[in-house]
Amino acid sequence: MKSELAKVLFPVCDRPMIHFVIDALQAAGVAKTIVVVGHQQEKVRETLKDRENIEFVVQAEQLGTGHAVQVCRENLQSHDGPVIVLAGDSPLLQSTSLKTLLAEFEKTQPALLQGTLHKSDPTGLGRIVRDAEGRFTGIVEEKDATDQQRKITEVNMSTYIFNCSDLLDALGQLKQNNSQAEYYLTDCAALLGAAGRPVEALPVLQDCESLSINNQEELAIVDAKMREMGYASNDA
Classify residue 142 by its DSSP letter: G
214 CB-side CA count, 13 A: 3
For 80-135, how does the pLDDT look when each residue is reduced to its tens digit (9 = 90+)? 999 999 999 999 999 999 999 999 999 999 999 999 999 999 999 999 999 999 99
156 CB-side CA count, 13 A: 25
Binned at pLDDT 50, 70 and 90, residue 7 comes out as very high
For 146-169, how does the pLDDT look when each residue is reduced to its tens digit (9 = 90+)? 999 999 999 999 999 999 999 999
Percent of the chain with pLDDT over 90: 90
Q: Based on DSSP, count helices (H) and strands (E) in the chain, helices before strands.
A: 9, 10
Binned at pLDDT 50, 70 and 90, residue 236 comes out as very low
CATH fold of 9-234 = Spore Coat Polysaccharide Biosynthesis Protein SpsA; Chain A (3.90.550)
Q: What is the pTM of this model?
A: 0.93
Tell me the C-alpha to C-alpha distance, in Å, between residue 53 and each of 33, 59, 83, 97, 160: 6, 20, 15, 21, 20
Range list of H helices, 28-94: 41-47, 65-70, 73-76
